[in-house]
Amino acid sequence: MRIREILQQKGNQVFTVKPESTVRDLVAFLNEHNIGALVVSSDGAAVEGIVSERDVVRHLASGAGALDLQVRDIMTSDVHDCSPSDHVDSLMHLMTDERIRHVPVIADGRLAGIISIGDVVKSRIGELEFERDQLSKYVANAQ
């Protein structure tokens, strides 16, 4: 399965946050939309970073003043990304090896979606269920 197939199923809506937004605003947005990460982008197309709940928690450990920091102060700048033509298997390896849960999808140099570890697991479960059903049909017809 390729990344584009996951995006076709889930949609390609990506929430972004500007680097100058406060962490307080970021937390409110994550909570309001029940999501775990936002792509940091000034224009909604170029990826400048990514910021997750994990980043917030790490900085909150230094004190409540972290809520007044700007997103650029806590974001991850070295962002791993993928393209719609990449295989889900390679993305699973990337997520496992780098211990990341959200990967922006870039097409033609622009932000085209985001894939979470939950999306990857859901697609893998779907593949396994399809294989199981096909094997069950095969066995039933062979008897």
Q: What is the CATH number of the domain that holds 16?
A: 3.10.580.10
Q: Judge contact between 54 and 61, C-beta under 8 A.
A: no
Q: How far apart are CA 45 and CA 130, in angstroms?
A: 35
Domains held by the chain: number: 1
Reduce the DSSP state of residue 16 to 3 states and report it: strand
What secondary structure letter does DSSP report for 8?
A: H
Assigned token pair, 91? 């993305």
**Secondary structure of 79-107 as H, E, C letters:** CCCECCCCEHHHHHHHHHHHCCCEEEEEE
**What sections of 11-143 are H helices per DSSP?**
23-33, 53-60, 71-74, 88-98, 117-142
pLDDT tens for the chain, 143 residues: list them: 899 999 999 988 899 999 999 999 999 999 999 999 999 999 989 999 999 999 999 999 887 788 999 999 999 999 999 999 999 999 999 999 999 999 999 999 999 999 999 999 998 888 888 788 888 887 888 76
Q: Judge contact between 91 and 3, C-beta under 8 A.
A: yes
Containing structural domain, residue 103: 3-142
Evaluate if pTM is beyond 0.75. Answer: yes
- pLDDT value of position 20: 97
Q: How far apart are CA 74 and CA 49, in angstroms?
A: 10
- pLDDT value of position 4: 95
Give the length of the chain: 143
Half-sphere exposure at residue 83, Cβ-oriented, CA atoms within 13 angstroms: 5
